[in-house]
């Protein structure tokens, strides 16, 4: 059972990453029919939704794109910001979906935003409680560690509807603004589905890791 859990914990995220990398690589080489950049797409959709206050910036890295609700800023990686590919349109529209969620006070986004500072603390100390709980056979420390890990798991669970909904909104806005052709729509959806899979994989891997720790602890007691 332990070997099976280790296998799943390792390979579920790897498979998801291969999926997103494959979809992104494929559609980053396919120009979109509108011949517009990711930045242009984001700006058009934002303006269409009366979100002129949202700024669009460029950041380093690959697929590091994100929306910052505290600064009202959409950060697009270089490959998304300036490229005119189907992938850049998909990712840019997805990030605008988060900005629209923010405007509409989408509940799960509010919950995730509120959990961020808490998770930043719990994720840093959870492993220490688990480790010392094992080391000193202290059940109290161990289960405190598990509780802290569960906070992180809750964060990942809340993230799922946030990400799926942002993709849904992105597709809707692309259609409303006439920024995606029928041909482009197929690739756009594939990129967004692959990206969503990484969040599902992250949640499953963390859940399995927590289950594994609990089983190991029970076997040792």
Structure tokens at 221: 């007691």
185 counts as catalytic: no
- 185's CB contacts (< 8 A; 6+ apart) are 171, 174, 175
**What pTM was computed for the model?**
0.93
Q: Tell me what pLDDT residue 118 has.
A: 97
Cβ atoms of 170 and 46 within 8 Å: the answer is no
End-to-end CA distance of the chain: 17
50 burial class (0-12, 13-18, 19+ CB within 10 angstroms)? exposed
**Distance of CA 113 to CAs 14, 110, 195, 203, Å?**
27, 5, 20, 17
Q: Which of 95, 137, 173, 185 is catalytic?
A: 95
| Each residue's pLDDT expressed in tens, for the chain with a length of 221 residues | 789 999 999 999 999 999 999 999 999 999 999 999 999 999 999 999 999 999 999 999 988 999 999 999 999 998 999 999 999 999 999 999 999 999 999 999 999 999 999 999 999 999 999 999 999 989 999 999 999 999 999 999 999 999 999 999 999 999 999 999 999 999 999 999 999 999 999 999 999 999 999 999 988 76
Q: Tell me what pLDDT residue 87 has.
A: 97
């Amino acid at each position: 059972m332990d070997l099976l859990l280790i296998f799943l914990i390792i390979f579920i995220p790897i498979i998801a990453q291969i999926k997103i990398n494959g979809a992104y690589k494929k559609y980053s080489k396919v120009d979109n029919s509108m011949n517009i950049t990711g930045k242009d797409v984001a700006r058009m959709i934002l303006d269409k939704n009366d979100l002129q206050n949202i700024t669009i910036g460029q950041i380093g890295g690959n697929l590091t794109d994100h929306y910052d609700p505290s600064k009202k800023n959409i950060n697009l990686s270089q490959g998304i910001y300036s490229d005119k590919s189907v992938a850049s349109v998909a990712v840019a529209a997805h990030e605008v979906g988060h900005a629209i969620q923010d405007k509409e006070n989408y509940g799960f986004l509010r919950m995730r935003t509120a959990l961020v500072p808490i998770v930043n603390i719990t994720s840093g100390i959870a492993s220490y409680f688990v480790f010392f709980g094992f080391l000193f056979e202290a059940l109290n420390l161990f289960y405190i560690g598990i509780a802290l890990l569960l906070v992180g798991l809750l964060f990942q669970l809340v993230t799922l509807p946030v990400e799926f909904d942002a993709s849904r909104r992105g597709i809707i806005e692309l259609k409303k603004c006439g920024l995606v052709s029928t041909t482009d729509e197929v690739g756009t959806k594939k990129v967004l589905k692959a990206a969503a899979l990484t969040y599902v994989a992250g949640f499953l891997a963390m859940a399995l890791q927590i289950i594994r720790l609990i089983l190991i602890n029970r076997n040792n007691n």
